[in-house]
Structure 1
């Protein structure tokens, strides 16, 4: 037998042995020609701090809480699924089985934690949304009609509490509770009802926008928070403030706020987005058990915290479904990726979006995320013409911008006109730059507007 043939036979034999070995070890990530679901068992810690177990309006009924929680979940590719004929789903190939470790913090832990919050608290004016709660009117749009009659208590003070320092304290002290924060961990916090309670919001004020220098966290009421988490060991918020170990923590505090992102300042109006349906949201903790006229009864705190665990912590933060397909699938897996960044510039916005965008910062961050790839970026401005404006504004008014396309006529497909407009732009000669293994089109909109 010629040497080359003998060598090839030996290679094929060794590959066969390796393949059998991998199968015997249960290696299931690849199965050519078949769809494979990769499963993972996860322990999720849930810690109640300041909540008591029981059946009271502001207490936790564990049976009611646990019946909301999922036992298993298979993630999907969200945008491809969005455009599929319902109820079809495009699975991403990942599934999760959840096991829950639920604990109530002892009094000693609570006393130490709330003492830390008191130490961090800085007196500040009421946020716009705390004032809106007092008035039960959106003060970003309308003047205050006077103190509302259906709120349980008026907010007269406010304190800022550093969100990262709060997370850091929980990470460093979770071991007292027997909690391993390498597992995903939710801390549900309730300061209300204690003699040392202060009305408060959580803030992150040390990272101005890298492009404009505008400090959203410090200057805008809409960026004051009731929840925070996800910091990594190399996150640094001030001198010597980094987390010393991996801590997969997210905390949520119903005694904070009210705040903008969940619209929980409004306990009066059922439909805030005008779609004719009740917008389910969780009010401040002191509203549970209220006998006043509110948009729904606040009588199931346990179920509400269960929903926050399921739909926010687990579905959106811990094991989310990706917006797009994670795998890049050209003819070969790419080494070099080019970000083809395009700005639609509204003349009323003044600045050119491409002048505000720091491409080097973006590519540096992506390099950390995917260290085995090389990232570059190109930037250019596009005309915010009538079609581009129609497409963007159609997300709010439902206008059909491209009647020749059925996709544009489907009012249920939010963003369909933007998708068509971007796709047509990509078909223009010279759009793609070339010179990389894979090119990622990015469309951004630099528009005039005001954020409260």
Structure 2
């Protein structure tokens, strides 16, 4: 808790104590300023967004053309509800406050001198060589350099152009090409190997060399900035690279689905006769800003609802309940390929006001489980006769049937987050690394599945990082390469018109697919705190309605007024971009309403039911769709974390 939050908590306690005298039977119905019994939150933030053109001038990127492609607002929704044709808003509205600038020549000279000093000569990557081998490439990449991405992020964070406050969301759009000191280059991130296998993807894979980076937290163990900054840079003069597949210029459909895939080429390909017209540059940079930096990184939507309502209301304690089906003879996978301390530590970055712990139980495979596993990944057959769901639901159905045996901490913790690990040796199974599932009814999160085999270990992965990633989905985090744009209603997936969104993975987030870090980014933390602020606000509103409907409501009046005060502080902190304080105040408001419920004789455990009812009332039917058309192949909203 911050010092400010602690002081406000004490103030609330004082107010409750001062006004705890019994109210008369004729006391009027309380009137609140911020507490809205039975309603959704109304959290508003004017989000500062700095966009800095670094290496582009106004003639190359016209500001009016650029800004015409940006969104004015964003209203986050629970994405998993959308799969079922439902709309569930959080009660948050963002209004973007853009500040656009062009770095002057002096700053550009200093910055590119810095880049040159960080550049280390390196062989051409396989992707640069593939680019050179094509017919339509504008030029050949003649040499290559690796530049440490975190070092560039830190330089930009603490040496920005005058007037740019990198404590607020800041996007640097970079172009080195065309200067006399230009060097062909890619950005790298090394030194953070898989904790279970020791394999360093950033050092050993050409596919992990990048054109963008950012989102590092102040306290990141490997490359921490030391102070909170919010920076992401994208450099079209880097590459060509694998992630956005901009090394391919001879064809438009690069993923084989018979639909052109929209990508941003390297800077020199924006030319007459090149991959893209120079006139398209401003629009492309606007797409990177809107659909990647804002929609997927800085102000995104939760994949799943974050409140995790339990029989005891919103949880204070969360157990990471690992259950491992051990099927690799001679290998104790749960002991060898899971690092419990790291798992708890990383997930605590998101749920920092909850107490998290971990336990594991090994479970033997049985005939039914084997049939479900094989049916889902090999034969495509359902394992329950007459089941209405497709084979992609096999593991969900099996584990749901036997959920009781995984609930080994029932009554000890508020919420058990079910981590289900399948360890096997049949290399024909073809599982992903993992996926987070929903309940196949309304999009509520259910189980987290992770997979391990000799082939997966040989590829460099254990179980720990997959568990962190998939549990991150369960707690509401989306990938930085897929999401939703609220103004247009566009579903952003890394294919077709939004193939370029793969570049969102190039940030310091555990939720990406690039495997060069195992932390949650500053953007992840900001979004999680915002989501949880809304969740606790909603929980306070929902339970307050039950309190006021009770015969003894007057006994809880003082606590309801304390909640009203706390929510006012939460809204103010939210508007001032103080997300952790906002989360703290909203939780204090919820706790105050719980106290009111107890005094009024209302079972506070009904808060979970109240929240479910409130969420149901808040939903609006959307366009009907069949969520299982992509769940059949595990391509649901979380997406499977697959082998590269």
TM-score (norm 1): 0.80
Matches within 5 A, 1:210-289: 210-237=195-222, 242-289=224-271
Determine which of 151, 154, 161 is the counterpart of 1:168.
Answer: 154
| Cα distance in structure 2, aligned partners of 1:10 and 1:329 | 32
Determine which of 406, 410, 416 is the counterpart of 1:431.
Answer: 406
Structure with larger RCO (C-alpha < 8 A, sep 6+): 2
2:527 is matched with which residue? Answer: none
1:207 is matched with which residue? Answer: 192
Instruction: Quote how far apart the aligned CAs of 1:149 are.
Output: 1.8
Secondary structure at the aligned position of 1:123 is classed as: strand
Matches within 5 A, 1:61-140: 61-82=62-83, 84-85=84-85, 88-134=86-132
1:305 is matched with which residue? Answer: 285
Secondary structure at the aligned position of 1:360 is classed as: helix
2:169 is matched with which residue? Answer: 184
| Cα distance in structure 1, aligned partners of 2:381 and 2:255 | 20
1:413 is matched with which residue? Answer: none
Residue 137 of structure 2 is aligned to residue 151 of structure 1: yes
1:291 is matched with which residue? Answer: 273
1:412 is matched with which residue? Answer: none
Task: Assess, with a 3 A threshold, how the Cα gap between structure 1 residues 308 and 210 changes in structure 2: closer, same or farther.
Answer: same
Matches within 5 A, 1:296-335: 299-331=279-311, 332-335=313-316
Secondary structure at the aligned position of 1:75 is classed as: coil
Secondary structure at the aligned position of 2:218 is classed as: coil
Consecutive unaligned residues of structure 1, counting only runs of 5 or more, are 1-6, 135-146, 409-416
Q: Map Cα deviations across residues 16-39 of structure 1 (whole Å, 9 max, x no partner).
A: 99965x61xxx3xx4222223422
* Aligned partners of 2:174 and 2:233 also within 8 Å: yes
| Cα distance in structure 2, aligned partners of 1:290 and 1:205 | 37
Q: Map Cα deviations across residues 398-445 of structure 1 (whole Å, 9 max, x no partner).
A: x5647945552xxxxxxxx54552243132151222232111112211
Deviates more, 1:297-306 or 1:276-285: 297-306
Secondary structure at the aligned position of 2:91 is classed as: strand
Q: Map Cα deviations across residues 257-284 of structure 1 (whole Å, 9 max, x no partner).
A: 1212211111222222233321111111
Task: Assess, with a 3 A threshold, how the Cα gap between structure 1 residues 76 and 270 changes in structure 2: closer, same or farther.
Answer: same
Q: Map Cα deviations across residues 188-213 of structure 1 (whole Å, 9 max, x no partner).
A: 01011111111111111121122221
Q: Map Cα deviations across residues 211-260 of structure 1 (whole Å, 9 max, x no partner).
A: 2211111111111111111112223547xxx4243211000001111212
The structure whose residues are more often helix, as a share, is: 2
* Aligned partners of 2:406 and 2:418 also within 8 Å: no
Secondary structure at the aligned position of 1:95 is classed as: strand
Instruction: Quote how far apart the aligned CAs of 1:368 are.
Output: 4.2
Give the aligned length: 401
| Cα distance in structure 2, aligned partners of 1:389 and 1:103 | 56
Residue 322 of structure 2 is aligned to residue 341 of structure 1: yes
1:441 is matched with which residue? Answer: 418
Instruction: Quote how far apart the aligned CAs of 1:335 are.
Output: 2.2
Secondary structure at the aligned position of 2:153 is classed as: helix
* Aligned partners of 2:75 and 2:89 also within 8 Å: yes
| Cα distance in structure 2, aligned partners of 1:268 and 1:95 | 42
Task: Assess, with a 3 A threshold, how the Cα gap between structure 1 residues 205 and 373 changes in structure 2: closer, same or farther.
Answer: same
Q: Map Cα deviations across residues 359-403 of structure 1 (whole Å, 9 max, x no partner).
A: 111112333443432212233566583532543579xxxx56479
TM-score (norm 2): 0.58
1:47 is matched with which residue? Answer: 52
| Cα distance in structure 1, aligned partners of 2:290 and 2:66 | 10
* Aligned partners of 1:314 and 1:320 also within 8 Å: yes
| Cα distance in structure 2, aligned partners of 1:169 and 1:128 | 29
Secondary structure at the aligned position of 1:91 is classed as: coil
* Aligned partners of 2:41 and 2:90 also within 8 Å: no
* RMSD after superposition: 3.0
Instruction: Quote how far apart the aligned CAs of 1:330 are.
Output: 1.1
1:359 is matched with which residue? Answer: 340
Consecutive unaligned residues of structure 2, counting only runs of 5 or more, are 1-17, 420-448, 460-642
Secondary structure at the aligned position of 2:396 is classed as: helix
* Aligned partners of 1:349 and 1:446 also within 8 Å: no
Q: Map Cα deviations across residues 107-142 of structure 1 (whole Å, 9 max, x no partner).
A: 0100000100111111111122212222xxxxxxxx
